Structure 1
Amino acid sequence: MRPAYDTLRAMLTTINFVAGVLFCCLFWLLAGDAVTEMLRPRPVMEQKAYRPGTGGGGEPEEKVTNGIHDATGLIFAEGFEAVRGNCTACHSAKLITQNRATAAGWTEIIRWMQATQNLHDLGENEEIIVKYLATNYAPEDVGRRAGLDVESIEWYLLELE
């Protein structure tokens, strides 16, 4: 009785092995490309250190066109490095360029970020940042044109021939 048991066990082992090989082949046919893609090593992106004060000296991320820093869209002026280093570390520069405020308004925005968004203490950079923002992103008197003074308009009749 023992030889029949050993034979059955050997057959089941062989069947399991063949089933495993077939399963692996089927899996490779269906998902082989995805698995190969996942296992392929990815190139490591080189990080370039920011060099303050380069002023658009050739590297694409430092290029300035018409006074606007190309990579961020911020006005390239005194205090730019402090704003980029402190503000754009947490949010996009677009959040700055789409807003306008006075020095008091920008200070209030900074206080709000410190109270609700965990912004760190800016120390002596705060004065530089607020001055930059208030100078370059101050409120503008832009909007609808002033209403017409109908009383002062000199009206005339158009004569058609």
Structure 2
Amino acid sequence: MNPYVRDRITRKLDTLSDERLYQVLDYIEFLESKYAEKSAPVANLFTRFAEGVEDKLRAGGVAVSTVSETMGFLNKAMGVLNGVAQTTMTVAGDVVNAAKTAADQVGAPPPAAAPSSTASSTGTTPSAITGTQPAPLGVPPAPPSAAA
């Protein structure tokens, strides 16, 4: 979109009341449905929800001031939820990085690593090499015998 036209439209819209702005929005949506050359960008889930609430309130004949106030509250709530989602993504990334660092420090193999080449090339298992059998799940291993 031409930035000069956008600025001019914004200046004109700033002079209108909320009721007239909704009329402008309706007209823009009408023009979009008839003449749009490309599809509008897909809005995120929170935005689609808020716009749906706004449309229902307007269709129900709710006063424009009430719709505006409700949308203000919804926008604040969406800001909080977006912040929570962003923080959750950051924390999850930090946890993954910490786990990778801990695994590197311990020397653990990466999650998708193949077994060691010595055991796989000889066909032996660690228990065959040590002569011990692994303990069943949930049972701690026996202490080494004094005879060894």
TM range, normalised to the smaller chain? under 0.3
Q: Which has the higher helix share?
A: 2
TM-score (ref. length: structure 2)? 0.27
Structure number with greater CO (CA < 8 Å, separation at least 6) is 1
Structure-1-length-normalised TM-score: 0.25
